[in-house]
Amino acid sequence: MKIGYFGFNMGPLGGPEAIETILGAVENCGFESAWTGEHVVAIDPQVPPSPIAPDHHMLDTVAALSFAAAVTSRIKLGSGIILLAQRNPLVLAKELASIDVLSQGRLLAGVGVGYIEGEFEALGIPYGERGARVSEHIEAMRAIWTQDKPVFNGKYTSFQGIQSKPSPVQTPHPPVIIGGMSAPAYRRAVRHGNGWYGFNQDLEAAAGSIAGIKAAAAEIERPAHLGPLSISITPRGVMDKDSIKRYEDLGVERLMLLPKGRGGPTERAVQFIEETAERLGLG
């Protein structure tokens, strides 16, 4: 099982000294990866289903991953997740390729749809188009990353006669990991993703999502070039070896652990990382 750390760009830990200290501990303690969270804007006043308060600090994912690339050398760096419908796919493809270059091939490109309608309204993106935009944007980014003479003709994005260099270090491109816990998200992961990511799932929820992915795979032909679909989850509760084995038995390949409270002093975060590594035998 690959073990990651989630949320290093969020809350009181989202500053340069704290990030460098936390990611140093993540790397030194044998974690496989570190992941950002993302909301470009927060709803004010907070109302469901928004998960964050208006004054919750959250560094931009691209900026945080770029900084992380500079202060680490081994761990993979994941976006968990970029709300892709809210982004221009060519601009984002350039940013992510740059992070892959700066990290020497350590980027995991997690993307998803989003579910807070007010965020889309503020950004001028039609909420009802978000799923279709994400599916198309993924393929547009693949085109600019991999084609010698990039050409793409879509409903929301079209281009030809352009180049965007440098290309990512990873070939054919960084793994695209698609988040979301709905039937459309499962179908999108099967059709477009190298991996799938479920957030804050206990064993029962994880089993349900994996069953949903299998059902989608029975309906949709998966492109051969994508290979097997990897499964990543942020679990609920404290993980020990037995609980990790239960997730592993379901087919989960990576767990991104979220410290309780999603923040707090740097020392508390480092303690969580060190205690987790000792409990799970990492390193």
The tokens describing 189, both together, are 């992961």
Residues of the chain with pLDDT under 50: none
pLDDT digits (tens, 9 = 90+) for 67-87: 999 999 999 999 999 999 999
Instruction: Give the structural domain span for 101.
Output: 81-174
Region of 112 please: left (phi>0), alpha (psi -120 to 50) or beta.
beta
pLDDT digits (tens, 9 = 90+) for 96-154: 999 999 999 999 999 999 999 999 999 999 999 999 999 999 999 999 999 999 999 99
Residue 232, strand partner residues = 197, 254
Is residue 120 one of the residues assigned to a domain? yes
The tokens describing 223, both together, are 């492109």
Domains: count for the chain:
1
The tokens describing 195, both together, are 């991996």
Q: Are 171 and 179 in contact (CB under 8 A)?
A: no
